[in-house]
Amino acid sequence: MTRVLSTPEAKTAIQQLRTLITGGFTDQITQMDAQGKTLSDPNVWDGPLAEKFRSSTWPETRSALDKAKQELEELRTQLDQISQNIMSAGGGS
């Protein structure tokens, strides 16, 4: 027999994770991307460290941020499904 359990604590944790993903962290990633683009412009910032930032640091960081954002969206989708399953099973109160 498979155990199915959903405590109020689980429901609250799911809601809080969804809120963090949709209302905070992904927005911060977008803001970081905008600042990184600004610093990647040689007309804004130039020199040896700026060149290193443009050529390697920022592209690698941006790639990691894009991946994190994608994974957070996938997590949000999974959390939506879990929440829906809880409600369908009668755990919505």
For residue 33, being part of any structural domain is answered with no
pLDDT above 70: residue 17 = yes
Domains held by the chain: number: 1
Range of the domain at 52: 47-82
pLDDT for the residue 80: 85
For residue 52, being part of any structural domain is answered with yes
For residue 58, being part of any structural domain is answered with yes
For residue 10, being part of any structural domain is answered with no
Segment 37-41 shows an average pLDDT of: 97
Q: What is the DSSP string of 22-83?
A: IIIIHHHHHHHHHHHHHHT-TTTS-SHHHHHIIIIIHHHHHHHHHHHHHHHHHHHHHHHHHH
For residue 13, being part of any structural domain is answered with no
